[in-house]
Structure 1
Amino acid sequence: MFSRKRGGPKHVRATDAPPSAALAQSLAADDEPVAPERGPWDQRWAPEGVQRLDLGSLLIPAIEGVEVRVQANPDGAVEQIVLVDGDSALQLGVFAAPRSEGIWDEVRAEIAAAMKADGVAPREVPGPYGVELTARVNTPEGPADVRFVGVDGPRWMVRALYQGAAAADRGREGALGEVLSGLVVIRDQEARPVREALPLRLPKEMTEQAAAAQQEQGANGRQA
């Protein structure tokens, strides 16, 4: 569902959305770039004075009531980020992209094709970041709404997947919408293949909590 096509020209359709604000600003020639009106923010435009959870390439604003669930491998590299607020969830991913062009149009088309192959009927709808992709999918718990949002930035792309109430109704994004618009992407200078996931790590707070829990578990084991 998310692999880079090799070879062949990139086809541009008349219905393709224009570059996101972050990407458009990065392409400004000669003049000093001006920060876009809303995030996700490239590091250079990140507003100051905001408390954020540091996951390496992605900084997540700390918003009251939003639970952050992070799945990591034994080495501490983050494999999945899901934020939960009531009956809505937001899954986040951040990927390498070219500086001069966005990749969300191409990625969105591939997600739609994969859905159709599974018998799902996705729809393209306009949104504040450009064209979004919505669908109702079958899950073990029954039918569920999903909504994909993509934001192209300078040398990065954020892919957001809304689930639950916020997927069915954009007006119910609430705090999760604030999280998405407040994200900060830190793109390192390393050359990376297009669509490679940018490196993420467990936040210091979570690492310390896990170490404390492991220490406590070991102490209880010795006392038993």
Structure 2
Amino acid sequence: MAFGFGRKNKNSVDEPEGLEPAAVDVDEDGKVIAGPDMLDLPPNPADTVYERELHGPLDSSEVEGTDGYVDLGALLITPREGLSLRLEVEESTARVIAVTLDLNGSSLQLQAFAASRSEKLWRDIREQIGLSVGSQGGEIEILDGTFGKEVLAKVPALSSDGSKGFRVARFIGIDGPRWFLRGVLGGNAAVDSEAAQELEDLFRGVVVVRGETPLPPRDLLLLRLPKDAVAGPQGDLAADHASPAQGGEPFRRGPEITAIG
């Protein structure tokens, strides 16, 4: 497993990011002929309620210890062969604002936020994502997905060869005890359920460490570099227990960030 750093300036944090290119083709009139309109994401029944306490992600009070996890402060991640982690650093404050997990050509960005004991954030945040994506001429669809309600976002974009297409992402959210965890699936995992399975498993295995410090709702929970990570060649960071040679691409671009607040 490998670690790396990415940097975001203040303006980029406010953009509707989290939208990695997916395989989308359009005809001369701009109509989608393959890609997000042909999603392989079987929905759950509309009345299904995702039971976090049974399936994860978990609160730190619900696990016996932190041994075996990659400790990022507010988030504990289950290591896996071939997994690459990148910490996203906000340039204006030098604080770590997200971690992106890259695995088998897809990515999962994670951010954890403070929440009150009674208020659930995910409904309002779904609406905020819709407004942000809509302001760029994109569109969203609310799905009954793996973790309950999810947001599929599509924003017009040009491919590398200049043809029209979309950037696509799946936003997933979990309300926990005094915290909210958001994930953004990019790459093939945004449009293909089989490609998403391993990253969804990683999402279920996340442990959120809320801490006892009073924080306003929607404040980011503090992330940090693991204690056993060391600097490697070309600026990548590798953990002592997992070398980059095991797989992963520490500098592959992951989903970007949509502000919450």
State how 1:1-224 maps to structure 2 within 5 Å.
21-22=51-52, 36-46=53-63, 51-72=68-89, 77-139=95-157, 141=159, 143-206=166-229, 208-209=230-231
Cα distance 1:103–1:18, how it changes in 2: closer, same or farther (>3 A)? farther
Deviations 1:8-54 (A, max 9, x none): xxxxxxxx9998634xxxxxxxxxxxxx2111100111265862111
Higher deviation after alignment, 70-79 or 155-164: 70-79
How many pairs does the alignment contain?
186
Deviations 1:134-189 (A, max 9, x none): 02223464522201000000000001000111111233213211210000001111
**CA RMSD after TM alignment:** 2.9
TM-score by length of 2: 0.63
CA distance in 2, matches of 1:127, 1:101: 22
Deviations 1:114-143 (A, max 9, x none): 111211110000023221000222346452
What one-letter code is carried by the residue in structure 2 that aligns with 1:199? L
CA distance in 2, matches of 1:18, 1:153: 18
Secondary structure in structure 2 of the residue aligned to 1:174: helix
Secondary structure in structure 2 of the residue aligned to 1:102: coil
What one-letter code is carried by the residue in structure 1 that aligns with 2:74? S
The CA deviation at 1:80 is 2.7
Contact 1:19 1:102 in 2 (8 A): no
Contact 1:68 1:83 in 2 (8 A): yes
Cα distance 1:17–1:94, how it changes in 2: closer, same or farther (>3 A)? farther
Of Structure 1 and Structure 2, the greater helix share is in: 1
Higher deviation after alignment, 167-176 or 88-97: 167-176
CA distance in 2, matches of 1:18, 1:192: 32
Cα distance 1:49–1:190, how it changes in 2: closer, same or farther (>3 A)? closer
Contact 1:76 1:202 in 2 (8 A): no
Contact 2:78 2:202 in 1 (8 A): yes
Higher Cα radius of gyration:
1
CA distance in 2, matches of 1:132, 1:151: 10
Larger RCO: 1 or 2 (CA < 8 Å, sep 6+) = 2
Contact 1:61 1:179 in 2 (8 A): yes
Gaps of 5+ in 1: 3-15, 23-35, 215-224
Secondary structure in structure 2 of the residue aligned to 1:115: helix
Of Structure 1 and Structure 2, the greater strand share is in: 2
CA distance in 2, matches of 1:152, 1:80: 17
Contact 1:144 1:163 in 2 (8 A): no
What one-letter code is carried by the residue in structure 2 that aligns with 1:94? A
Gaps of 5+ in 2: 1-13, 16-45, 160-164, 237-261
TM-score by length of 1: 0.73
